Structure 1
Amino acid sequence: MASIDLHALPPAAEPDVDALAARVARSGRVFVVLDDDPTGTQSVADLPVLGAWDVDDFAWAFASGAPAVYVLTNSRSLDPESAERVNREVVRNAMEAATTADLRVAFVSRSDSTLRGHYPLEPDVISSEVANAGGAPIANVVIVPAFPDAGRITVCGTHGMLDAGDFTPIGETEFAKDSTFGFASSRLADWVEEKSHGRFAASEVVEVHIDVLRDSEEAVADALRSAPEGAPIVVDAVVEEDLVQLALGLEIVEAEGRAFVYRVGPPFLRARIGQRRREPIATDRAGEGGATRGGLIVVGSHVGLTSRQLAHLTANRDLAAVVEIDVPRLLDPETGTQEVSRAVAAVSDALLRGDVVLHTSRTLVRTEDPDESLRISRRVSQAVVDSVHAVAERRTPRFVIAKGGITSSDVATRGLDIRRAHVKGSLFPGIVSVWEAVDGLAAGIPYVVFAGNVGDDTSLTAAVERLSATP
């Protein structure tokens, strides 16, 4: 762990966010965000979200007049072949709907601020499909994983986590050891070379450093123009203003005819469309029905922070029940079905008395085979989905909090049958998204998307306190 002196960096720019929003509006461009899990929405507000991507779904979203639409691909939970298929379907249908609506679209491949996900596969597929549909050829992929609100920053080309002034390069964190998407590099140019298996040499990657971002939007535009066609572009960011300054430079170069695909962390889109930070939304105690019906908190993520948050919640809240899905029993063909049935009965009964936690067992079942790891993850996720769906058909909770990226996507689209929703805002500053479902089993109640790796040890407890019927 190293210490970096942020005060030694050039002062942040003071870009005009409103001017950027006006430019985006004049461009007539709508950004289609392929979100590899739904936690990408936690930095934005008042935008449509699609849990399905038929042409009619895009027509509904485009009719809202919003500058961007999120599509829940959940591709981080998929094998490469399935991820490719889903990305192709989304881009094809989005472009068809955009043509009908006479709109220009640009594509954002939203992924993890800790660098997990299908790179370079997903940006490659998007670029390919845009070309197949006769769109403007994609000149470069712009990579911006920073998420300052959650302490993920990029400085001098190196990405990492900032905590109380201590900077840990991302390659030294637990996320780099991910069984499916693990990596060794912290410098983004090296990471690009590593993940592309040498297709892009680190020396070919164009780095846009903080001194350029904090110079002027014209300096940013010059740096973007200097990138040879096809070269990946990686960009520093420490604070929100850096992302807005990048967006202003991008707007200049795109107006000249250059097209990009973006591979980014959650806050990029907020900056790119010129949306100002919003205050956390007021919850006013969620749902209806008084204290006779509790909320459902679903915990699937296994990162250390989530487990600590779960422990704090169970130790500090008077919950009606804490129901565990035992993963070894679930994976056993002789006991798997009974394990789900037991969880459904326990949760359904307890919701009549108050808030209920449904979580997977905290001991992570590991394997050295990445494909087998994904298979296990999908089996566990299916059990969570089946449990939530069965519970919601019996009894609508006052609210649902889904903890973990893949968990929140699966619970939304398959557990609660959410096809269309609106992002209302965030529960805390810049993190933890609150949706309003238009359809499905969660229509009329708050659905809270809570990433596994954000907040502090008390944040899950605070979320439940804000939403619960009882103080």
Structure 2
Amino acid sequence: MTTKPKIIVLDDDPTGSQTVHSCLLLTRWDVETLRVGLADESPIFFVLTNTRALSPEEATIVTREACQNLKQAIALESIQDFLIVSRSDSTLRGHYPVETDAIAEELGPFDAHFLVPAFFEGGRFTRDSVHYLVVNGVPTPVHETEFAHDSVFAYHHSYLPDYVEEKTQGRITADQVERFLTADIQAGVRDRLLQLNHNQCGVVDAENQADLNHFAADILAVAAEGKRFLFRSAASLLTALAALPPQPTAPEDMAQYARDGKPGAVIVGSHVKKTTEQLERLLQEPGVVGVEVTVARLKDGDAGSRAALLDETLQAVREAHDAGKTPVVYTSRQELTFEDVQVRLDFGTAVSALLMDVVRGLPREIGFLISKGGITSNDVLSTGLNLPTARLLGQVLAGCSMVCTPANHPLFPNLPVVLFPGNVGDADGLATVYRRLNKPS
């Protein structure tokens, strides 16, 4: 029997673990931390590079560094078989092909790289090489959704070969892309996989988890024969590759991890439409208090204004907590305009830095923490809580991971932390997670 390869996921925000459980998330990628991930008994681990929050140049530097350190760690741990996944957004936002190019140069050569953006828990699937997002029950090509107009990662095509041509600026033309259609995958694609070489680009249909399970089985069989593949995927492919049993604790029972039945805290950084809708529902729940952070006050970069904003926010948080309520700290919802993409990214960094100061200033005895937004969640783990590694407990809602801080954490030992992506869940999603964790002991 062949041993299963170690699945190493370079995740561009911390939400790619949203379909698996019981594995490690690493927020650092020095050689020693990577060795911890490689030595762990789980078949999969995640390196949270947070590159979606960076410029293309910074994303390249971070990806290269992580891969160079991985090469050393793999050698030191004597790992023979491994698969590399560049996990990114199921709505096609992210640094493609910047990251897959950097991975291929550092850890290649690869015979092929595959785009597999399906994420079923979030209503994203691929049919006839067109990627869809279910919006209010209607399958909608992703280029017709708000995500295609992202100010940093805009694109014009849902037909994946055309998306590849657009993003590679014609280096890979649409007619060069290998299409793996649903009927192909169901019939078996091992022979086709064996023919791929020179980092051929492939795009993969997936309408349900069974499709990806078929595809993953063929991938693993061919990889065992020596073929080397790279993946640019959303979360659902990881479920198929890792083939984990059901998570130990059901989502409805996750309240058992909340500390002493105490009220928690919620941090909302994401500002996509879905998050705003979920936030409005959450603020109607009994036991919560909204704390709005007017981020426009950070725009002029004035240190005094920032300090005042932080003090006001923490004062409101403390008052809510003292009253036995859960404070919901959220960034103001109006869309600000910026002169260019870099200024917008820099402002996002400043907003996140303020929110992380809020996280560090939270009352020590909170029962749980919910972080809303991919980049926000990454910063909560790596900066706000300063965790080099965190153990994933599982999902508290489809697509929403929960981790736990270690028992020796200096501020918040054994604190359950929910990583809630901005674009996941129905209108009641945030309220549902709050209710699941806010059960008095």
Give TM-score, length-normalised by structure 2: 0.94
- Bigger Cα displacement from structure 2, 201-210 vs 342-351: 342-351
What is the distance in 2 between the residues matched to 1:188 and 1:202? 8
- Letter matched to residue 126 of structure 1: I
Call closer, same or farther: CA 1:290–1:228 in 2, change over 3 Å.
closer
1:363-374 equivalence runs, <5 A: 363-367=334-338, 369-374=340-345
Consecutive unaligned residues in structure 1, runs of 5 or more: 1-22, 132-136
What is the distance in 2 between the residues matched to 1:425 and 1:93? 28
SS at match of 1:197: coil
Please state how far the C-alpha of 1:162 moved relative to its aligned partner.
2.4
Call closer, same or farther: CA 1:59–1:281 in 2, change over 3 Å.
farther
Q: Note if 1:250 corresponds to 2:226.
A: no
Q: Note if 1:467 corresponds to 2:437.
A: yes
What is the distance in 2 between the residues matched to 1:62 and 1:229? 27
- Letter matched to residue 69 of structure 2: N
Partner in structure 2 of residue 342 of structure 1: 312
Correspondent of 1:87 among 36, 60, 63: 63
Q: Note if 1:142 corresponds to 2:114.
A: yes
Superimposed CA distance per residue, residues 29-68 of structure 1 (whole angstroms, 9 cap, x where no aligned partner): 2111111111111100111111111211122222222211
Partner in structure 1 of residue 241 of structure 2: 272
Q: Note if 1:31 corresponds to 2:1.
A: no
Asked whether the 8 Å contact 2:110–2:197 carries over to 1, the reply is: no
- Bigger Cα displacement from structure 2, 222-231 vs 141-150: 222-231
- Bigger Cα displacement from structure 2, 114-123 vs 346-355: 346-355
Call closer, same or farther: CA 1:396–1:167 in 2, change over 3 Å.
same
Please state how far the C-alpha of 1:163 moved relative to its aligned partner.
4.5
Partner in structure 2 of residue 356 of structure 1: 327
Partner in structure 2 of residue 13 of structure 1: none
What is the distance in 2 between the residues matched to 1:230 and 1:108? 14
Asked whether the 8 Å contact 1:281–1:426 carries over to 2, the reply is: no
- Bigger Cα displacement from structure 2, 92-101 vs 417-426: 92-101
What is the distance in 2 between the residues matched to 1:315 and 1:28? 47
What is the distance in 1 between the residues matched to 2:90 and 2:64? 23
What is the distance in 1 between the residues matched to 2:413 and 2:54? 27
- Bigger Cα displacement from structure 2, 322-331 vs 169-178: 322-331
Partner in structure 2 of residue 119 of structure 1: 96
1:134-173 equivalence runs, <5 A: 137-163=109-135, 166-173=138-145
What is the distance in 1 between the residues matched to 2:218 and 2:252? 31
Call closer, same or farther: CA 1:281–1:65 in 2, change over 3 Å.
farther
Q: CA RMSD in A?
A: 1.8
What is the distance in 2 between the residues matched to 1:288 and 1:198? 53
Q: Note if 1:384 corresponds to 2:355.
A: yes
Asked whether the 8 Å contact 2:255–2:438 carries over to 1, the reply is: no
What is the distance in 2 between the residues matched to 1:164 and 1:415? 35
Q: Note if 1:447 corresponds to 2:423.
A: no
Q: Note if 1:196 corresponds to 2:146.
A: no
Call closer, same or farther: CA 1:27–1:400 in 2, change over 3 Å.
same
Asked whether the 8 Å contact 2:404–2:417 carries over to 1, the reply is: yes
Q: Note if 1:57 corresponds to 2:33.
A: yes
Partner in structure 1 of residue 403 of structure 2: 435
Partner in structure 2 of residue 314 of structure 1: 283
Partner in structure 2 of residue 184 of structure 1: 156
Call closer, same or farther: CA 1:444–1:191 in 2, change over 3 Å.
same
What is the distance in 2 between the residues matched to 1:366 and 1:243? 40
Asked whether the 8 Å contact 1:281–1:425 carries over to 2, the reply is: no
Q: What is the total number of aligned residue pairs between the two structures?
A: 433
Give TM-score, length-normalised by structure 1: 0.88
Asked whether the 8 Å contact 1:270–1:276 carries over to 2, the reply is: no
Partner in structure 2 of residue 210 of structure 1: 182
What is the distance in 2 between the residues matched to 1:146 and 1:443? 35
SS at match of 2:403: strand
SS at match of 2:25: strand
1:276-315 equivalence runs, <5 A: 276-278=245-247, 279-280=250-251, 282-291=253-262, 294-315=263-284
Q: Equivalent pairs: percent with the same residue?
A: 36
SS at match of 1:461: helix
- Bigger Cα displacement from structure 2, 157-166 vs 198-207: 157-166
Consecutive unaligned residues in structure 2, runs of 5 or more: none
Partner in structure 2 of residue 3 of structure 1: none
Call closer, same or farther: CA 1:156–1:374 in 2, change over 3 Å.
same
Call closer, same or farther: CA 1:450–1:165 in 2, change over 3 Å.
closer
- Letter matched to residue 87 of structure 2: R
What is the distance in 1 between the residues matched to 2:413 and 2:144? 42
Please state how far the C-alpha of 1:324 moved relative to its aligned partner.
1.2
Superimposed CA distance per residue, residues 346-384 of structure 1 (whole angstroms, 9 cap, x where no aligned partner): 213322322110110011213362222211211111111
What is the distance in 2 between the residues matched to 1:374 and 1:210? 38
- Letter matched to residue 374 of structure 1: L
Call closer, same or farther: CA 1:348–1:56 in 2, change over 3 Å.
farther
- Bigger Cα displacement from structure 2, 191-200 vs 90-99: 90-99
Q: Note if 1:331 corresponds to 2:285.
A: no
What is the distance in 2 between the residues matched to 1:32 and 1:170? 27
What is the distance in 2 between the residues matched to 1:274 and 1:90? 25
- Letter matched to residue 159 of structure 2: R
Please state how far the C-alpha of 1:220 moved relative to its aligned partner.
1.5
